[in-house]
Amino acid sequence: MATKVVNQIMQQKRGTLANWTSKNPVLKAGEIAVVILENNKKMFKVGDGTTAFTSLPYIQINLADVVGLLDANGKFSTDLLPSLALGDTEVVANDEARFALTTANVQKGDVVIVTGTNKTYFVVDDTKLNIEDGYAQILVPAAPVQSVNGKTGNVTLDTDDVSEGSNNQYYTDARATLAAATYVTSTLLPDGATILHTNDEITIDAGEVTAPAGE
């Protein structure tokens, strides 16, 4: 047998208060009576199968019961709202000082900065401020450069900090003398030696300035 879906609309029995009072029927158990008032507002009664209409109480709907979050004035009850921190920041020197904090210093949601470790934490449970479980570290991406030549912070380097390479070497008097001797041929030195001494003389001839031809 095929299943057929039938759309239904249920209209409750309704009438003015005068008509309901005049008829004063005994409503069946669970039967709803809609009472239309003069201002077109509506109230309800639900039958129990034995009590006449006029003796039945009206159904009172408390908005707080329906919504579950509002008080009698239609506003959120403060009892339903958790305590909120204002995002205070507490700075301590080390983890020992962090674990010594109390709710007089920080509450859940506050931030704690530890200068000794350069780490920052959220307070996630202010009943466990004395242990790591009370905090969640705020992780930040690592910087591309962690150190320079083994140094961190504000780094200043000189030649004592950086080892020279095999090709690019630092200046020394000995290296300068050797380089000069290498590039000066022995024919330029009076004694024909390949080492330049302090008493050697070198004459560098820059040439003669002559007049242009025809002058």
114: phi then psi, degrees, rounded to nearest 5 = -105, 110
Question: For the whole model, what pTM was predicted?
Answer: 0.33
Please give the tally of structural domains in the chain: 3
User: Reduced to 3 states, what is the DSSP secondary structure of residue 119?
Assistant: strand
Q: Which domain holds residue 119?
A: 89-137
Residue 21 shares a structural domain with residue 44:
yes
Half-sphere CA count of 185, side-chain side, radius 13 A: 3
> What pLDDT is attached to residue 164?
78
Residue 59 shares a structural domain with residue 117:
no
Residue 40 shares a structural domain with residue 63:
yes
Residue 172 shares a structural domain with residue 199:
yes
User: Reduced to 3 states, what is the DSSP secondary structure of residue 26?
Assistant: strand
Is pLDDT at 166 greater than 70 in this prediction?
Answer: yes
With contact defined as beta carbons under 8 Å apart, do 54 and 17 qualify?
Answer: no
Residue 72 shares a structural domain with residue 93:
no
Residue 69 shares a structural domain with residue 120:
no
Is pLDDT at 47 greater than 70 in this prediction?
Answer: yes
43 lies in some domain: yes
pLDDT above 90: percentage of residues in the chain: 32
213 lies in some domain: no
Residue 131 shares a structural domain with residue 93:
yes
148 lies in some domain: no
Residue 43 shares a structural domain with residue 77:
yes
Calpha distance 215→213 (Å, rounded): 6
145 lies in some domain: no
> In the structure, what pLDDT confidence band is assigned to residue 10 with cuts at 50, 70 and 90?
confident
Is pLDDT at 74 greater than 90 in this prediction?
Answer: no
Average pLDDT over residues 172-177: 80
Residue 36 shares a structural domain with residue 72:
yes
54 lies in some domain: yes
Average pLDDT over residues 34-49: 86
> What pLDDT is attached to residue 82?
66
Residue 117 shares a structural domain with residue 95:
yes
Residue 196 shares a structural domain with residue 165:
yes
177 lies in some domain: yes
DSSP notation for 139-205 = --PPPS---BTTB-SS----TTTS---SSS----HHHHHHHHHHHS-GGGSTT--SS--TT------
193 lies in some domain: yes
Is pLDDT at 134 greater than 90 in this prediction?
Answer: yes
214 lies in some domain: no
> What pLDDT is attached to residue 69?
62
58, 81, 104: which is the final residue of a domain? 81
> What pLDDT is attached to residue 86?
62
